[in-house]
Amino acid sequence: MKTAVGVLGATGMVGQNYITLLREHPWFEVRHVAASPRSAGKKYGDAVAGRWQPADDCDPRVGSLTVEDAGDVSGAAAANKRGDCAFVFSALEMGKDETRALETAYAAAGIPVISNASAHRWTADVPVLVAEINHRHADIIPRQRKNHGWDRGFIVVKPNCSIQSYMIPVYALIRAGYPVERIIVTTMQAVSGAGYPGVPSLDMIDNIVPYIGGEEEKSEKEPLKILGAVGDGVFENAALPRISAHCNRVPVSDGHTACVSLEFGGKKPASVEAVKKIWAEFRDLPQEMGFPSAPARPVIIREENDRPQPRKDRGAGGAMAVVIGRVRPCGVFDIRFTALSHNTVRGAAGGGILNAELLKHKGYL
């Protein structure tokens, strides 16, 4: 029997992607949808009519569900009691303070929250999970519950979509015994990453916008929590790597590209080919356990001089893999490469679903 789940912010772009990706999921099925008060009371299909974004039509079963008010936690609590909402995926699009308070209220009501929002990424006892990197961070959940007096609820978040394209490759090198000391990264981020209603077309046609509010700060700080450790019931950030990020919005529909230069500290890989071999062979718990959303190969190497490209490579590994190309020596640091990940799948709903699969495997759902 599948686990019944809810989606908060279900009518937004990320919420729609959750609905689409969960349509044939072997473990989970959507039986509760919630959004803003202006959508509450409508059938989901009617609420998204005219603004449905995914290529596939809306799941008619979900389309027939009545949208609840996401701000009314009691509705989800009632659904939880009748078996229609064991936990929620949060794709809320509100201010950080409002989102933080609302996700906390769901957890306090006994409903686990797996969030795409940034509101809780710096809450000291909330893990920021990339399933292939820091799945052990999920084991802070019992302490988090104790800290807040929660029974069954908890909060887990995924990181910013802009770091997905290079964090797994960096971690793979660290795990192989080659500590990364400094990173310079320039991201070229798709317009879909701006969310609904997105970036005005006149800003993007024939143009690049060299600023995305808050994005560089997230890119420089979130990896340190992901690579950090659990201290006395809270997370302690890693000291390294030091990261300098330049984040740009580019006229691409989906797929965030990153140009990355790495400097190693101490022991260094023997060659570019040695680095490629580490990436090609990298696997972790999601692959070992065969989680439904996990790509069989989390890092895919392209040898062509002009790859990866968003239009050609963003769907690799069910849009859950990182595609790397142009791996070569760096004249300033040690190595440089270009990497690509699908920002609305791996970087958003797909990453959230993979985290849920991890949490179910660990017995928290």
Catalytic residues: 161, 256
CA–chain centroid gap for 7, Å, is 15
Tokens of residue 26, six digits: 């072997």
CA–chain centroid gap for 27, Å, is 19
- Give yes or no for a contact between 167 and 130, defined as CB atoms under 8 angstroms apart: yes
Single-letter code of the amino acid located at 60: P
Q: Which residues contact 148 (CB under 8 A, 6 or more apart)?
A: 104, 107, 108
DSSP assignment of 120-177 equals TTT-TT--B--HHHHGGGGGGHHHHHHHHT-SS--EEE---GGGHHHHHHHHHHHHTT
Alpha-carbon gap, residue 172 to 54, rounded angstroms: 32
